[in-house]
Chain A
């Protein structure tokens, strides 16, 4: 029935069965290579990984491997480091995403105006995205280091610090080190996607609004924002999920310290798996994180649907 409707525009609805089968399977043929890879290299290991959460899997321990039911999750509920890490994750993700988004949006708006040298300015502003993440971690760790980096001396000079100390070893503010590195690295992602969305807004809308006497702020609020909203929803969702899972910078810059003050869930998983080699417990933590992120994404997808329907 649906096939006949699909084929109608081409006037070929009396095709033999085999041809119809071929055209029905066409989209699957195009996506098959990608799908097969995703299923074998990601989905199957994911299922195995989830099964580890219910098993006692410790590397290098030949007696491990037995099923232990929900023991890991019970231990997790009482694990203080985990709850602290969960709080830190919210802090780290919230500030990183908010700052990246605001600064990225401003950059996109700045680059949306034509001016001489825009191409070069755009390429230079987007450059941090190309820097390997661990290298940006090392880079910023160096900048915060009072011996080889300038930032502590600048902060001291501005009176923001009592002595030129390393920000990364201060228990109260250490999280800002990785956050700043992350903001630096992630602004281009938002700027690129938002700039693309900005450039797709029909220019005559702005002209019409200007003729009607709308102020720049009014134009931004009633034309730009509604057009950007679906892009904003989807990019903020993707970035939040990526950043919540993004342990590289923290592992390289502070390794969770001082005193677990910068330990986020993702870096805690990393530490549990590779320092303590406890893959079972690491999988259990990862599952909790995955569940939380899934719920969050569902909410955003629902929000985006409502936004699109209103448009």
Chain B
């Protein structure tokens, strides 16, 4: 009787998990399906789960005859530099938030919360006015600068909760042995936070990889365009070329998903450690 009940519960549990996986993956599957459907079958087999004839023409076109390899490279440069810089800055900032109690802390936390509150659209015109005389519009470094600033506040909160999970005694012991705080931070605490840093890196990478608004407004030339801007060019044409757009979409998904696939468990682990303190 009791074991029967347990078996039913187990089956229900696995079925529920399966539903979630299916819900999460189905839209992505549809992107893949459209990207391999030849144009002549796109509308006639619109509802079929898999086209009767799958081809890679769209991928071939996107890779060899469009600007997408360039967009891909630009996006890669922007997202990787943003992720690395944000991780370094937010490690420093998060450490300060986690380990010190100081007078300005309240205001710093308040400032960072404020940055999460308003529509970023509001900043576009002022940022454009500030960056343009510095020659930072239409350049990848300008984009990196803006993305770093946007992502630092949340990443700092994230890193703070990772540091909160590491006992204070560790660096206190090192400091009694004569190490400066920065040495203790670099040689003892940072290596322990590596999973947390990996999580932050991946989190910021995916955020920068998908940013559209500022990429659209700060960049006007093809040379410095990123992937999202390129993808949008398929839509703004007269007719939407679903096949090519989705082929480019699949390519855009690969790095972000790969990155996230490997780091998500560090995200959970790191946040768990931090949550103990509340």
List residues of chain A with CB under 8 Å of any chain B CB.
9-10, 24, 26-28, 30-31, 33-35, 37-46, 48-49, 52, 57, 59, 106-107, 110-111, 113, 115, 119, 121-136, 138-140, 142-143, 146-150, 153, 184, 187-188, 192-193, 195-197, 199-200, 230-231, 238, 241-242, 245, 247-248, 252, 266, 269-270, 273-274, 279, 282-283, 286, 289-290, 293-294, 297, 308, 311
Contact = CB atoms under 8 A, between A and B. Distances in A.
A265 B111 CA distance: 23
B96 A42 contact: no
Contacts of A131: 28, 210, 253, 256-257
**Chain A CB within 10 Å, residue with most, of B181, B265, B271:** B271
A142 B212 CA distance: 19
B148 interface: yes
Interface of B: 13-14, 16-17, 20-21, 23-25, 27-28, 30-31, 34, 42-43, 46-47, 49, 89-90, 92-93, 95-97, 99-100, 102, 104-105, 108, 111-127, 129-130, 145-146, 148-150, 152-153, 156, 172, 175-176, 181, 206, 209-210, 212-213, 217, 227-228, 231-232, 235, 242, 245-246, 249, 252-253, 256-257, 259-261, 264-265, 267-276, 278
Given A132-B228, A138-B249, A196-B268, A153 B47 contact: yes
Contacts of A150: 30, 46-47, 49
B121 A282 contact: yes
Contact of A135 (B113, B129, B253): B253
Given A139-B31, A149-B30, A270-B121, A115 B13 contact: yes
A224 B24 CA distance: 26
Nearest to B37: A148
A39 to B, nearest CB: 8
A124 B156 CA distance: 26
7 contacts: A46-B126, A111-B17, A124-B21, A135-B228, A135-B252, A196-B272, A290-B118
Contacts of B117: 241, 245, 290, 293-294, 297
B33 to A, nearest CB: 10
A27 B100 CA distance: 6
Contacts of A106: 16
A15 B129 CA distance: 48
Contact of B43 (A148, A200, A266, A293): A148
B121 A286 contact: yes
A263 B270 CA distance: 38
